[in-house]
Structure 1
Amino acid sequence: MEIELWVIAALTLVAVFTGFLDAVAGGGGLVMMPTLLFAGLPPQLALGTNKVQSVAGTSMAFRNYAHAGLVEWRKEKWLALIAFTFAAVGSLLVQQISVRVLNLVVPLLLMGVAAYVIFSPRMDDSKSHEVLSRKGYAPVAGSIGFYDGFFGPGTGSFFAASLVGLRGEGLTSATGHAKLFNMCTNLAAVLVFALGGKVIWMLGIAMACGSMTGSWLGSRFAVKHGAKVIRPLLVTISLLLTAKLLYNWFFPA
């Protein structure tokens, strides 16, 4: 599929913005996926190409969070591997199965995330007692990883909120670990979509450069300002994703 250079340039600029959003609170796909479809990409090519820029952006964000000492990646490597594995399975299945049912289920989950962030007294950078151990969190990491490979919107929000609520992490640290897991789930999806020939590499690489730029800016911004910025953005992104998915359900294209 051939894409004009001005379209590639425009999508790269959009990737800068979505990379910033993803690095702070997740939800960049809310903007990027409709933009790719509007540019004329078939759905599966849009999914695969979007994952190329996503893995670049989350990798840059992870690097900045880790550099700030907010990610214990050695301790979390097995959870990251579990998320990677289940994301690969999800990416295989999404090429075979309709995802329409998720357009109704996911908004309910996202509304739950938004409500938790709004009403929980501890969605800040303080730590608390963990409900689940690292091993106990493994099924959660696997489930969210599978979801990201299969569908995707809100993955970063699900990881961050569950790490705060179940692992007792502070919000900024949870966001950093969410980038580690999301980087792995995106990488798994890229490998599967690439093997299936569902990636436009020239566009994906250009967008990856834009996403890395936005993620570098966004992650540094989040590290500097912490939960006071992440919390309202997490709520906003969750509610916007909810509205978009409900709209898609009732008014399908």
Structure 2
Amino acid sequence: MLNNDIFSHIILGIISFFSNFISALSGGGAGLIQLPALLFLGLPFSKALATHKVASVALGLGASIPHLKRRSLKINYAFLILISGIPGVLLGAYTSSILPSSFSTTLLGLLTLFLSFYSIKQKNLGSSNQKLSINKLRILIGSFGLFIIGFLNGYLSSGTGLFVTIWMIILFDLSFSVAVAYTLIFVGIFWNGIGAFSLGMTGNIIWDYIPVLILGSLLGGYLGAKFSIIKGTKFIKVVFELVSFSVGISLLVKGFL
């Protein structure tokens, strides 16, 4: 049953701050904690997902401030993420309304676990930041991969930020720190913003919870991004591996239930 008392708002604010702080470190995974918390408070899944999506945009806004101050982002990578991923997000959102998602959730869980194990095995993954030049082949491969990840973002709405982070690292040899910045800003604000808008059109957003969720997301995203910059790539890599493992297990459980 939905509970609107002050205590539930305080607890939700703390959960929002913690989940988004961790997400700002790893480049994804806020939904692992925040979404179940909304479900625990009695929201149906559709309403919990829509409300979480709105708050996830605030994560991107909060985390963008420390990263933009560093001036380490390039417009060509940003444009590639937006122009390739947004059509996938829109198609995925449409598909989610007509197709069941249990199989895809299970598959995404397995792939997310693979991300964790792959990162653990590749000791030097994300340790450089060479900013390789974008040739036609990289544009083609990068666009296709981002379109697929965008589709999963619109279709399943959780866990896909981690894939964008690792994709940018593998394809363009970015550091974890820089790749996470691209994910938080361009996936967090734009991809999730589109998802929030499309879900909001159905009237599923619980606006009573939005202020505390946004406050927790902004503060958690901002402080998490600042902390990640201070600690550096090696620390972010470890957090990424822990979060991707946890998200993978969570998605598998969700897929089998």
TM-score by length of structure 1 reads 0.91
Amino acid at match of 1:176: A
* Partner deviation per Cα, 1:221-245 (whole Å, 9 max, x = no partner): 0011111211111111111112222
Give 1:190 shift.
0.8
CA distance in structure 2 between the partners assigned to 1:78 and 1:172 by the alignment: 18
CA distance in structure 1 between the partners assigned to 2:98 and 2:204 by the alignment: 13
CA distance in structure 2 between the partners assigned to 1:65 and 1:49 by the alignment: 26
Distance 1:103 1:203, change over 3 A: same
Question: 1:80 is matched with which residue?
Answer: 82
Residues matched between the structures, number: 251
CA distance in structure 2 between the partners assigned to 1:12 and 1:95 by the alignment: 30
Give 1:130 shift.
7.2
Moved more, 150-159 or 211-220: 150-159
Moved more, 141-150 or 44-53: 141-150
CA distance in structure 2 between the partners assigned to 1:82 and 1:32 by the alignment: 27
Contact 1:84–1:187 (CA under 8 A) maintained in structure 2: no
SS at match of 2:95: helix
Question: 1:232 is matched with which residue?
Answer: 238
Question: 2:5 is matched with which residue?
Answer: 5
- RMSD after superposition: 2.1
Within 5 Å, give how 1:92-107 maps onto structure 2: 92-107=94-109
* Partner deviation per Cα, 1:29-83 (whole Å, 9 max, x = no partner): 1111111111111111111000011011112212321212232246522431332
Q: 1:71 aligns with which of 70, 73, 80?
A: 73
Question: 1:16 is matched with which residue?
Answer: 17
Give 1:182 shift.
1.4
Q: Which runs of 5+ in 1 are unaligned?
A: none
TM-score by length of structure 2 reads 0.89
CA distance in structure 1 between the partners assigned to 2:167 and 2:80 by the alignment: 17
Contact 1:92–1:192 (CA under 8 A) maintained in structure 2: no
Distance 1:122 1:134, change over 3 A: farther
SS at match of 2:243: helix
Contact 2:53–2:192 (CA under 8 A) maintained in structure 1: yes
SS at match of 1:189: helix
Amino acid at match of 2:237: R
Distance 1:135 1:64, change over 3 A: farther
Within 5 Å, give how 1:94-243 maps onto structure 2: 94-127=96-129, 133-183=138-188, 184-243=190-249
CA distance in structure 2 between the partners assigned to 1:212 and 1:134 by the alignment: 32
CA distance in structure 1 between the partners assigned to 2:222 and 2:59 by the alignment: 8
Contact 1:56–1:208 (CA under 8 A) maintained in structure 2: yes
Distance 1:231 1:195, change over 3 A: same
SS at match of 1:133: helix
Contact 1:125–1:173 (CA under 8 A) maintained in structure 2: no
CA distance in structure 2 between the partners assigned to 1:89 and 1:221 by the alignment: 35
Contact 2:115–2:244 (CA under 8 A) maintained in structure 1: yes
Question: 2:30 is matched with which residue?
Answer: 28
Distance 1:206 1:73, change over 3 A: farther
Moved more, 129-138 or 230-239: 129-138
Amino acid at match of 1:170: S
Moved more, 131-140 or 233-242: 131-140
Distance 1:77 1:202, change over 3 A: farther
Question: 2:54 is matched with which residue?
Answer: 52
